[in-house]
Amino acid sequence: MTDRYAVLGNPVTHSKSPLIHAEFAHQTGEAMEYTAIEVPQDEFASAWQAFAAQGGRGANVTVPFKEEAFALCDTTSHRAKRAKAVNTLIVGGNGRLYGDNTDGVGLARDLEYHRVVLKDKRVLILGAGGAVRGALEPLLAEMPSEIVIANRTAEKATSLARDFADLGNISGGGYDAIDGEFDLVINGTSASLKGDLPPLPEGIFAKGAWAYDMMYDVEPTVFLQWAGPRGAKLLDGLGMLVEQAAEAFFLWRNVRPKTAPVREILRQSLNY
């Protein structure tokens, strides 16, 4: 029987993951099947169990089930524990369920792909939810001089920064506390999905700065539309999506697919 994988989420109809993994499988000659499964809000555990009973060997987990997936696993990786979320499920040889989180490493690899150097640079991160939590450890590993987290609910940013204070120079607060210029500004809020822009002050981009949105859309997000005329170089979340998928594929199949050709295919489906 062909090994089966899936992305579990809600909504999941527009997910690019089936396309990405089909390309990886084709490229590496791996015999596998990958589908998208839309899971009703309260049925994550039963949906996974049903899929595993039908030969599911692993899955990607997306919004809003990453925390539930974390709770369901028998064992989780160090990076999943830090993120308190699982985006990759793997069935072990003994039938036990192992959970990992490849989102943060996906972001770090995408930055590396675009030669965005973080060492000794100032980084501003917008948002303090699950997406940002998952990204902090790999970002701090690049040794920026400082990471500042700004969030609508300031206390969430402060407490998130406290959780990672053992790994580097990191602080958090509200948007009104943003001070000075940054070399990289990452939008990790879900505001982009609603077409909203966080209340950002002028003058946050240093010369040669990058603006990175973890989201992507067929058009540039409102954050990137705001950042472009202010001189920042722009990156959206498409590369991160491909890189986190490549890491999941590696965990399942022990083969590392090439990401550049898949980036190309996905980019062509957008309008810019």
The Cα-based distances of 141 to 52, 89, 154, 169, 190 in angstroms read 35, 24, 24, 11, 24
Question: The tokens 């699950």 sit on which residue?
Answer: 130
* Closer of 25 and 123 to ligand ATR (Cβ): 123
Cβ pair 170, 123 in contact under 8 A: no
Parallel/antiparallel/unpaired status of strands 182-187 and 122-126: parallel
Scanning 146-154, 166-174, 204-212, 219-227 for contacts with ligand ATR by CB under 6 A, the matching segment is 146-154
* Closer of 135 and 140 to ligand ATR (Cβ): 135
Residue 239 is a binding residue for ligand ATR (CB under 6 A)? no
Select from 196, 201, 219, 255 the one that contacts ligand ATR (CB under 6 A).
196
Residue 128 is a binding residue for ligand ATR (CB under 6 A)? yes
Which of the residues 66, 156, 194, 207 is marked catalytic?
66
| CA neighbor of 161 nearest in space, from 196, 191, 136 | 136
Select from 190, 230, 250, 251 the one that contacts ligand ATR (CB under 6 A).
190
Dihedral (CA of 74, 75, 81, 85) sign: negative
Cβ pair 238, 216 in contact under 8 A: yes
156 is a catalytic site residue: no
Residue 129 is a binding residue for ligand ATR (CB under 6 A)? yes
The Cα-based distances of 181 to 26, 122, 136 in angstroms read 44, 8, 20
Question: Which residues inside 34-63 make contact with ligand ATR, applying CB under 6 A?
Answer: none
Select from 106, 130, 237, 257 the one that contacts ligand ATR (CB under 6 A).
130
List contacts with ligand ATR (CB under 6 A).
127-131, 151-153, 156, 189-191, 194, 196, 198
Q: Which residues are catalytic?
A: 66
